[in-house]
Chains A and B, each alone.
Chain A
Amino acid sequence: MDINAEQKRTITRYLLGEMSGPERSEFEDRYLDDPVLFEELVAVEDEMMRCYVRGRLPEAERTAFERRFLTNPYHHRRVNFARSLMKYAASIHEPSHSRGIAGQGDAAGASHSDTDGQKQKPGRWQRIAVSLAGPGSTLRLATAIALVVLIAGSSWLAVMDTRLRRAFEQMQTQHDTDLRREQELRGQLAALRLRLQQQEQVAHRSSLTIPQFTLTSHLVRQSGPQTPLVIPKGFPQVVLEAILCSNAYLSYSASVETPEGRQIWRQSDLKGLQTRNGWDVIGLILPSRIFNSGNYILKVSGRTAAGKPEEVDSYAFQVVRR
C-alpha cells in the first residue's frame, strides 16, 4: 500500500482544505468508492499529525496544518490526542521517556504488564543477565567481566589515540596558519607606515600651499565688498568655505557659475559643519584650473528631510590669477 507522491499530495491538499468545492466533492466520491484510497487518507492524516507533533512538517505544510487543525477545537483535540498517544506508546517502549509525563507513563507501563499478566519478551540486557545466572555462574560472570573490561579498555585506548593524533594535526595546521598570518601582518604594517609618512608629508605641504577663502552671503555680509580670491600660479586647488545662516538641511549641493549663468563646477552630498567660532559652514575643495581672473557666483542648495531641494544662498566672489 505504498502511496505515490502525487496521490499523497492530493490527499494532503484535501486534508488541509486546499481543494476547490467541485474538486473536493469529486475526491470524496473517489474515496467513498475506494476502500484502499480511504485507508491511505486516514494513514496520511495520522502521519501528518505525528509529523506535526514531532516538529517534522515542512514550514509551508506546518502553517497550513496549524491554520486548518489548530483553529478548530475538534481538530485541535485530535492533535492533542495524537501527542498524548505518542507519549504513551513511547513510555511503554522506552520507560525513561515516561518520567516526563508526570509519572503517568510509568504507571501505564506497569499496569500494562502487571494487571494483564501479559508475558513480555525479555529485552537484550535481560537475556544476557539470564544467561549469566545459574550453575557455574561465578566463573562465567568473572570471564564476562574480564572480557568486557578488556574490550572497553582497548576501545578507550583506540579512541584516545585517534583523538590525540587529530588534536596534534590540528595544532600543527593552526601553527602554520598563524606563522603565515604573522608574516602577512608584518608586511601590511610596513606598507601602512610608509603610506602614513607619505600622507603626513603631503598634508604638511598642502597646509602651506592651498589658498583658502571664506565666503559670506549677502545676508550676513557686514560691510563693503569681499577681498578677491588670489590664486598664485602653480597651485592646483583652492579651498572655499561658505558661511551658512543655519545648518538646517540634511545635505547640500554647491555649484559655481559665471555671471552669465554658465555652470563651471558642481558638487552634491555636502555636509554642513560648525567652525570653532560657532559658524555653520560648508567646505569646498575646487580645482584652480576652472577659474580665470573675474567674477563668479557660488550657489548653495539644501535637501530637506522630505528629500526636496531648496535654494539656500548664493555668494559672489572675485578671482584674481597671478
Chain B
Amino acid sequence: MTRPNKLRRDDDSSEQFERLLRHLDDDRERAGEKYEDIRRKLARFFAWNDCFPEEDFADLTFDRVASRLATKHIHNIVAFIWGVAKNIKRECHKRPQPINLEDLPADKIPQTGHPEPMIIENTEEQRRQQCLQTCIQKLSDSERELFLEYEYYAAKGKKMNGLAARMGLTVGALRTRAHRIRRRVEVCTLRCLQGLEDAS
C-alpha cells in the first residue's frame, strides 16, 4: 500500500492514515484494497483532466481528506474523497502546469538539424526497456505471466476468452487485473526513468 506523500513523510500523521483506512473499511486488509483502488482511480481521473503528475494529485486528495477526518465526521467517505478530488481538479486547472523541457514531445523540442533527437530517442527507448524489465521482474510470477500474456494478446488484437479461461478468470476480471498491474508497472517505469526507482 502506498501512503500519500504527506502522510508518508510525517510519522505523527500515521494516525491520520489509519483513521482514513478505518473509514474505508473496518477490516484493514479490505480497507487497504479499497484505498489502492481509489488511488488508482484518482490518478486516472487527474490524468484525464490533465492534472499532472497525477499520482501527486491523488496523494494530495488523500492528504486533504485525512486531515479533514480529524475534525469532521464523514458519512460517505468515498463520495467525500471524490468531492475533494473535484475541488483539487478545479484548482489544478486554475494554475499553469510546470513543463520540463525533457518532457516535451519531440516535435515541440527546438530542432538543431543534427541527428541528436534520434540518438536521444534511441537512448530513451533503451532506458525505458531496462526500466520496464526491472519493473516487470518485480511482479510475482503469476502477475507477470498474466500481464505479459494479456498485453501480447491485446497488442495482437486477439480475443481474450481463451486466455481468460486458461487463467481461470472471466474476461472482465482478467482485464481489470491486467490494467491494475499495467498501472503499477507504468508508475514504476516512470519513476525508474526519473531515477526514483532502481533500474539495475
Contacts and interface: CB of A to CB of B under 8 A. Distances in A.
29 contacts: A1-B171, A15-B48, A28-B86, A32-B41, A39-B172, A41-B44, A41-B48, A42-B44, A46-B179, A54-B155, A70-B107, A74-B47, A74-B103, A81-B132, A81-B186, A86-B155, A88-B129, A89-B148, A89-B151, A90-B152, A102-B122, A102-B125, A104-B130, A108-B136, A112-B133, A112-B144, A115-B137, A116-B144, A118-B145
Contacts, number: 119
Interface residues of A, number: 47
Contact of A46 (B132, B144, B154): B154
B81 to A, nearest CB: 9
Contact of A111 (B104, B137, B185): B137
B91 to A, nearest CB: 16
Interface of B: 41, 44-45, 47-48, 50, 52-54, 82, 86, 99-100, 103-105, 107-108, 122, 124-126, 128-130, 132-133, 136-137, 141, 144-145, 148, 151-152, 154-155, 171-172, 175-176, 179, 182, 185-186, 189-190
A50 interface: yes
A291 B52 CA distance: 89
A261 to B, nearest CB: 68
A76 interface: yes
B48 A81 contact: no
Chain B interface, >50% SS class:
helix
B179 A39 contact: yes
Contacts of A15: 48
Interface string A144-170: 000000000000000000000000000
A23 to B, nearest CB: 14
A316 interface: no
Contacts of B148: 88-89, 92-93
A1 B125 contact: no
Contacts of B99: 73
B179 A73 contact: no
B162 to A, nearest CB: 14
Contact of A81 (B53, B107, B189): B189
Interface in A258-284: none
Contacts of A81: 128, 132, 186, 189-190
Interface string A18-39: 0000000000100010001011
A231 B144 CA distance: 103
B50 to A, nearest CB: 6
